[in-house]
Chain A
């Protein structure tokens, strides 16, 4: 029993990373008064470019950098279409998601699935920290993870610091709260929003790269709408960094339950386990919406 629980929490920390990175980037986007629906496409393209870069160089770090750059470029393109060509945000996001799915499918069929042997790149490996990794329960749960887990979780306090204590954070929250007031104060609304959107895109790309680099291979459609779950996470935690962390851990727990129980022959069909994170998203959104309405009533 304790082994199962250790396993659940151990994989929880590994699985929360893509959601966490994507959602923390989305915190900036949301707090500056925007909404990045295209995050799914950024994750898909980040996954394939991270895979390609790691395959070419052998370094996972370069894979993450490539994923981040891809996500960032996509974010800038989207941002310019929305603000310069005045296209509808939602429409641009849908088109980019479809385009990303098409492009990755095209490249995957041409280069990755062309032979029957799956193409594999270097995987992210779990670190072994002397002494700490050998601790009985905390060891496997906390201290033998790949480096991105620590980067993602330790970045949360940094993000909170930037958001609440730094000039940039103050400015972007001002833009999100009241853009015209912020403009009057001399804040460049366009630039601030662009920076935030860029952060969202880069983190979306890194989150996608994490998906392919933990597997060591690229599978078409591997993000499985995780980008939208990250969006929902950010929505119900109201753009608060620590709330987003808690949400990401909750969803990762649901995910690890799903993965752990799938191979075991229990009475629940595996499709229902696969549904779990998605149903949970709808439920959590509903509950948090209700709460926010009550908060408004007493405000």
Chain B
């Protein structure tokens, strides 16, 4: 039986070839979309040019791109971690929103503390609320075997309405016409690395999280248990690993990580809770995790490319009248291409080497 592995710094032919797939997939979906766009009277070349011109061409755009990439990287790390235990955390979107809510509450409560303490407490607030929103599907799943996917999707919808209500009524800034919460105290703001940009301390948190989660999976007893449970729950129980507790804990940690992404938005970008705080980062993170799989470097690269698409997508809608949903179509198509190329590569290796290579999906690995 093959174990799911974190391909962290393991270099062999398979891994190098496979790490090219996301780029190839993205190119392919650009080509396919580019072939379809002329039917809608849209010039693909100028559209793509303005997407990337906006996302990477100016300092302002670059700052937007990196600012948007940070939360999707954070969410994606959480997804990758929870997949290890055999669960797909589709509730990331709701957990991001609740993390933002927790950060708002904690920041208002502890904002008078000196900056490092306030930041830490605000982050913890976000983590706690994100973890709580993941605890519901997790506990239902481990005790009653309720399908966590449906519960997660339902809770996403509930979170949208809950946050909508909170920013409209109890948390609303009385001096503001729009439905949004009060601005959090400046002590809880993320310090900016470069003045007046969206490149802030959240970037460091995201990078640290990648290393931390890789370390947990690779080097700790808990990470080992997560891998065993993910490979086979029955084997884990047989080996004396408390499977249900491991699943519960992993799921809740995943929720806490999504909560960090939400807190990061409140503390670094908006400085207040808004109804649109999640910015679809939950779903972007999920797609990033599906493409980049276990490769931490790919996680960063794909996140940046996806955020560039989102940032550029906003611009093409305004300047070229091309709907910004084009970005989402390209993203989703990329996943299909990457996954299919995995399969085709496996077939190809089978023919060349007479064995399946790594194409045979290790048990317990969802993606």
By a beta-carbon cutoff of 8 Å, the part of chain A in contact with chain B is 37, 81, 85-88, 90-92, 94-96, 98-99, 101-103, 105-106, 108-110, 224-225, 228-229, 231-232, 235, 269, 271-272, 274-275, 278-279, 281-282, 285-286, 289-290, 293
Contact = CB atoms under 8 A, between A and B. Distances in A.
Given A98-B332, A278-B158, A289-B140, A109 B150 contact: no
B147 interface: yes
Contact of A282 (B154, B165, B335): B154
B165 A278 contact: no
A87 B338 CA distance: 11
Nearest to B342: A87
Contacts of B283: 98
24 contacts: A86-B361, A88-B339, A90-B149, A92-B336, A94-B290, A95-B290, A95-B335, A95-B339, A96-B332, A98-B287, A98-B328, A99-B333, A102-B329, A103-B325, A109-B324, A224-B157, A225-B157, A232-B150, A279-B154, A282-B136, A285-B140, A285-B147, A289-B145, A293-B144
Nearest to A273: B161
B343 A86 contact: yes
B149 A286 contact: no
A285 B150 contact: yes
A102 B325 contact: yes
A37 B148 CA distance: 12
Contacts, number: 130
Contact of B149 (A37, A275, A278): A37
B154 A85 contact: no
A272 B317 CA distance: 34
A233 to B, nearest CB: 10
A213 to B, nearest CB: 23
Q: How extensive is the interface on chain B, given as a class?
A: 35 or more
Contacts of A98: 283, 287, 328, 331-332
A235 B317 contact: no
A223 to B, nearest CB: 11
B328 A101 contact: yes
Interface in B112-154: 136, 140, 144-147, 149-151, 153-154
Contact of B286 (A94, A225, A271, A286): A94
A133 B324 CA distance: 47
B281 interface: no
Contacts of B153: 225, 228
Given A95-B335, A285-B150, A275 B326 contact: no
A275 B162 contact: yes
Looking at chain A's contact residues, the main secondary structure is helix
Given A87-B340, A271-B162, A278-B158, A286 B325 contact: no
B149 A271 contact: no
A123 B286 CA distance: 37
A87 B343 contact: yes
Max chain B Cβ within 10 angstroms of own Cβ: one of A98, A269, A274: A98
Contacts of A99: 328-329, 332-333, 336
A86 B359 CA distance: 11
Nearest to A293: B144
Given A282-B151, A285-B147, A286-B146, 10 more contacts: A85-B340, A87-B343, A88-B367, A92-B339, A98-B283, A102-B326, A106-B329, A109-B323, A109-B324, A285-B140
A106 B323 contact: yes
B129 to A, nearest CB: 17
A282 B145 contact: no
B62 to A, nearest CB: 25
A286 B158 contact: no
Contacts of A85: 339-340, 343
Contact of B144 (A94, A105, A289): A289
Contact of A269 (B144, B169, B343): B169
B154 to A, nearest CB: 4
Contact of A105 (B168, B169, B325, B343): B325
Interface string B167-181: 011000000000000
B40 interface: yes
B325 A106 contact: yes
Contact of B332 (A95, A229, A231): A95
A293 B327 CA distance: 44
Given A85-B340, A106-B325, A271-B164, A282 B155 contact: yes
Contacts of A94: 88, 90, 286-287, 290
Nearest to B327: A102
Nearest to A113: B323
A105 B361 CA distance: 34
B298 interface: no
Contact of B151 (A105, A285, A290): A285
Contacts of A275: 157-158, 161-162
A90 B144 contact: no
Contact of A87 (B136, B140, B339): B339
Nearest to B336: A95
A279 B332 CA distance: 29
Contacts of A88: 339, 361, 366-367
A229 B88 CA distance: 18
B264 to A, nearest CB: 23
Nearest to A84: B343
B113 to A, nearest CB: 32
Given A225-B154, A285-B146, A102 B332 contact: yes
A110 B164 contact: no
Nearest to B163: A271
Identify the 10 closest CB pairs spanning chains A and B, nearest first.
A102-B328, A105-B325, A109-B323, A271-B165, A99-B332, A102-B329, A289-B144, A271-B161, A106-B325, A98-B332
B34 to A, nearest CB: 14
A245 B308 CA distance: 46
Nearest to B141: A289
A91 B151 contact: no
